[in-house]
Amino acid sequence: MNIIPSFDLLDGQLVRLRQGDFDQKTVYPADPFELAQQLEESGIRRLHMVDLDGARSGVPSNLKILEKVAARTRLEIDYGGGLRSIPALKQVWDAGAALFSVGSVAVLAQDEFGAWVEKFGPDKFLVGADVRDRKVAVHGWREQTEVALFDFIRQMHALGIRQISVTDIERDGELSGPAIDLYKDIILHFPDIELVASGGIRDVADLEELTTMGCDGAIVGKAFFEGQIPLQYFRISTKV
C-alpha cells in the first residue's frame, strides 16, 4: 500500500483543518520542502498536496512550493485546490504535478470533467469523494449533495477513472480511526478501482489494517504531523 503524506498548504504554511473548517486550523512549523526531502529519504514515493488558498480563491495559489518540491525530489505529487479549468490544470502540470486531485467538479460538472479526462487521460486524476452517510459533499465539505457514493464511483468508473480517494468527513482530523466498514464495502463492490483511504487514520495499526483489507493507498495527515505515525515507520514499511 502506498502511504501518502498530506501537505495542506495555507499562506505557504503546513496546516491541518478540523473537518475542513478554516476557523479550526493547526499550523505546523516545518518547512514544506525540507519535510518533503525527509520523506523522500525515508522511502516515501508520493505526496498529496492540498492548496487550501486555491480551494477558497478558485485558482492555484501555492505553485512555487509545488515547483520546488517537484524539481528537487522524485516524489510523485497529486495536487488539488483551485482546479476549476483546463488552464489551471495546465498551470499545475507545468509546475510539476504528476496527478490532478479533484472533487467538486467531478460531482457537479461531469460533462466538463469528462472533457478534462479526455484531454489529459484518466490515469492523470485522483478523484476525491468526501462523504457523510455515504453521500458526497462538495465545495470543501460545506455543501451536502444527494449523490450516493456508489453511484458516483460508477460514474467515475465509466469515465475510465481508477484512482479514487474516499474521506469520511466526520472522521477527518479526529484521529478516530478510518472508515473500515465503508472501505470494505467499496472494495467488495468495486474490486478493480485503486482505493485510497483518507480521514481518521491515527496510528501504524490503522495503516496495517488498511493494507490487509486491500486499500491501494492511505493519505495520512494529522497522525503524521503529531508524531503518532513516526517518520521512522515510513523507512521500515517501504522496505517490506
Long-range contacts, stretch 186-193, CB < 8 angstroms, 24+ apart:
186/149, 186/150, 186/153, 187/213, 187/214, 187/215, 189/150, 190/153, 190/157, 192/162, 193/153, 193/157, 193/161, 193/162, 193/163, 193/164
Is 130 among the residues known to form the active site?
A: yes
Distance CA 111, CA 105 (A): 9
Q: How many Cβ atoms are within 10 Å of 219's Cβ, its own excluded?
A: 26
* Residues recorded for the chain: 240
**Residue 212 parent element (H or E):** helix 204-213
Catalytic: 8?
A: yes
Identify the active-site residue in 8, 51, 168, 206: 8
Q: Given the residues 51, 78, 130, 168, select the one marked as catalytic.
A: 130
Beta pairing class for 76-80 and 46-51: parallel
Nine-digit cell at 70?
A: 517537484
- Cell (9 digits) for 138: 462538495
**CA terminus-to-terminus distance, the chain:** 10
Active site residues: 8, 130
